[in-house]
Amino acid sequence: MFKEFKEFIARGNVMDLAVGIIIGGAFQKIVTSLVNDIIMPAISAITGKVDYSSLAIRIGEVSINYGNFIGAILDFLIIAFTIFMVIRYMNKINKKFGEVKEQELKKIEKKLKKKGKKAEVSEVKEEVKPEPTTKVCPYCLSEINYKATRCPHCTSELVEQTKEIAK
């Protein structure tokens, strides 16, 4: 069980998630400080020294602090906009990477044509494809490691796959 836990923790996606949560928490503190210490005081100065953090509606002895809510909305909008910009940038990079891959495939196709071999880009793509790293368990339809001989989800023994790997 310890070995399985160690493998689970060592997976890239778990570590990426942990790093993302830690960086997200630190980023939230920066954005909260930006809103509370820079943006809200600037808005207060423009609107006539109104302190938004102290804005509240009193109903009897209960205070509804809607000024803090406005600050939280600004926090959210800044974080959401920042994430949008990062994802937008990542999409541009991925698109350029895809275009570069397509150009490389066309170069390979030209080289094959020069050597007298007829090949289409689709055939070249098939040649360049890496080996699969995952497969689907025929019993529970969960995605599992390609070399697995037993499904970690339903514990079914994958007999046919075991024979293929043994070859």
Domain ranges of the chain: 2-99, 130-167
Distance of alpha carbon 129 from alpha carbon 101, whole angstroms: 12
pLDDT tens for each residue of 76-116: 888 888 888 888 888 888 777 777 777 777 777 777 777 76
pLDDT at res. 53: 72
pTM: predicted TM-score of the whole model, two decimal places: 0.45
Q: How would you label 32-63 residue by residue, b for 16+ Cβ within 10 Å and e otherwise?
A: beebbeebbeeeeeeeeeeebeeeeeeeeeee
Q: Could you tell me the two tokens for 20? A: 């993302």
Tokens representing 142 are: 């969960």
pLDDT of residue 156: 83
- pLDDT, one tens digit per residue, over 133-150 is 888 888 888 888 888 888
Distance CA 18, CA 36 (A): 27
Q: Give the pLDDT of residue 33.
A: 86
Q: What is the pLDDT of residues 41-87, one digit of tens each?
A: 787 788 776 667 777 888 988 888 888 888 888 888 888 888 888 88
**Is the pLDDT at 118 greater than 70, yes or no?**
no
8 pLDDT band, cuts 50/70/90, is confident
In this predicted structure, the answer to whether residue 124 has a pLDDT above a threshold of 60 is no
Tell whether the model's pLDDT for residue 128 goes beyond 60. no
* 2-99: CATH class: mainly alpha
